[in-house]
Amino acid sequence: METNDHELSKLDTVDLAAKIREGEISPTEAVQASIERIEALDGELNAVVTQRYERALEDAAGEIPDGPFKGVPFLLKDLRTSSADEPMHLGNKALKEINYISPVESDLARRYREAGFIVVGRTNTPEFGLVGTTEPESYGPCCNPWNTGYGTGGSSGGAAAAVASGMVPSANASDGGGSIRIPAAMCGLVGLKPSRGRVPMGPFQDEWGLSIQHVVSRSVRDSAAILDATAIPTLGDGVIAPMTGQPYIDAVGKDPVKLRIGIWTDSPREELEMNPECRQSALDTAQILEGLGHHIDVSHPSALDDQKIGSRFSAVWMAGANLTLRGLEQLLGREVTQDDVELATWAMAEYGAQITGLEVLQAQAAMTATRRDAAKWWEEGWDLLLTPTTLQPPPKIGELTSTPEDPMRNSSRSIPYAAFTSFFNVSGQPAISLPINNTNDGLPIGVQLVAAYGREDLLFNVSAQLEAEIGWANRLPPIHA
């Protein structure tokens, strides 16, 4: 088999792992083919910011852990999923300038390595993953393989562009307010945000925070199989999600259960406009689900109509931006100056510094109350909530970047993309974005399904049904290996 041909680039992770296991292709050939695809495509996309080619080929030729993905090339997001003694820049220009080297391997990176993945590089991300567009000053904008004039979303935009273009079959991603689901929607991929405590977040983050990690992928089964390999608690984990419906790969092929699904297509924020094509994508999905035998009705948790949800989330997020700069000081070994970070990051951190500890605790308490109220909707007999993933389709490059006159423009203009996603980082519920439609201009838009806490199995089961009906794996962007 030619290792760099078009057919190889279309394989998902499960299929590629099977071919390696059966001896049809060697790990070295698989990794070399991935490297060649990155080199061929990344000049247009700017998805991969750190190359690990020599060490990846050495790993492929050596003793690879005998995991389910033995020899499969993989990309890590350049945020906090670190490899020991290798670069980690967090999208930040100061860390890039000193080529900061992480002294430790993160818990999740170890899980990927134990599963047999071979890391070939790290992907582009906005500075510290703070906004919904991947256009950092450190590395420049990541471009959408469906149309390079448009963005890939954030903060896992580099990962999404890499997978959508066929550089690798799946890639690590993280989600603190929609950062897996938004790029998945904009690049035509599957993007699951798992339940809080489902995967280990150490040593840089806590499991009880807003952020959680997983992957973007082209198939539902990839997302399920990789979660099976990584949803293993580690010492010191602050939250461990209940084990329900595992192994998840079984849910992909399981006979469908008829579910009660609520659909919500009104903008959750009164001041934010809903794009009609994004709304229609959710309505189209509802029609398909009804045809599959599910009960669909217009309904959503009334607690989510609270217009103060956004400001409470923002208070915690901005305080977190300030904390991030304190963490940057530890990595740099000195006091951080305004020249070390982007204008928007500095502005967010300054804003966060004005928020008192009491105000953060009050916001967290209010969000806890909303989380409990919203959970009653699922307890009352609803299985899933269906929404558009984003209020708007992918933006053009530059539309979400900051200016000296409006330093927080990238943050404020990200809000329409996170309006449907961010609350479920607060609640800790699993939510998945699926690539149902493209706009009339040919740009992907996604729909989101949300399950009760711990019920990823329901998401995988229904998502696999939709995948079989729609066949989105056959839709490839113009820029593809």
Residue tagged active-site, from 155, 402, 411, 414: 155
Query: What is the Cα–Cα distance from 322 to 315, expressed in whole angstroms?
Result: 11
In angstroms, the CA 215 to CA 193 distance is 8
Length of the chain: 481
Residue with tokens 């609640």: 427
The H or E element that residue 228 is part of is helix 220-230
Cβ–Cβ under 8 Å, residues 40 and 33 = no
Among all chains, which residue has been given the structure tokens 């990238």?
410
Q: Which of 396, 386, 409, 375 is nearest to 439 (CA)?
A: 396
The amino acid at 128: F
- Judge whether 463 counts as a catalytic residue: no
Q: How far apart are the first and last CA of the chain?
A: 16
Which candidate in 106, 170, 174, 179 is catalytic?
179
**Which amino acid is located at 313 in the chain?**
F
With the CA atoms of 237, 242, 246 and 248 taken in that order, what torsion angle do they form, in degrees rounded to the nearest 10?
-70
How far from 12 is each of 31, 72, 171, 223, 297, CA to CA, in Å?
A: 14, 10, 11, 10, 34
Is residue 302 flagged as an active site residue?
Answer: no
- Distance, in Å, from the CA atom of 329 to the CA atom of 348, rounded to the nearest integer, reads 16
- Annotated active-site residue 179? The verdict is yes
Q: SS3 for 113?
A: helix
Q: Cβ distance 157 to 151 under 8 Å?
A: yes
User: Please, how many CA atoms are within 13 Å of residue 240, restricted to the half-sphere of its CB?
Assistant: 7
From CA 297, how far away is CA 385, in angstroms rounded? Answer: 10
- The H helix count followed by the E strand count for the chain is 18, 13
Q: How far, in whole angstroms, is CA 144 from its chain's centroid?
A: 15
Residue 122, beta-bridge partner list:
50, 76
Rounded distance, CA 427 to CA 372, Å? Answer: 8
Q: Name residue 423's amino acid.
A: F
Catalytic position from the list 9, 19, 34, 77: 77
How far, in Å, CA of 194 to CA of 235, rounded? 19
| Catalytic residue numbers, as ranges | 77, 155, 179
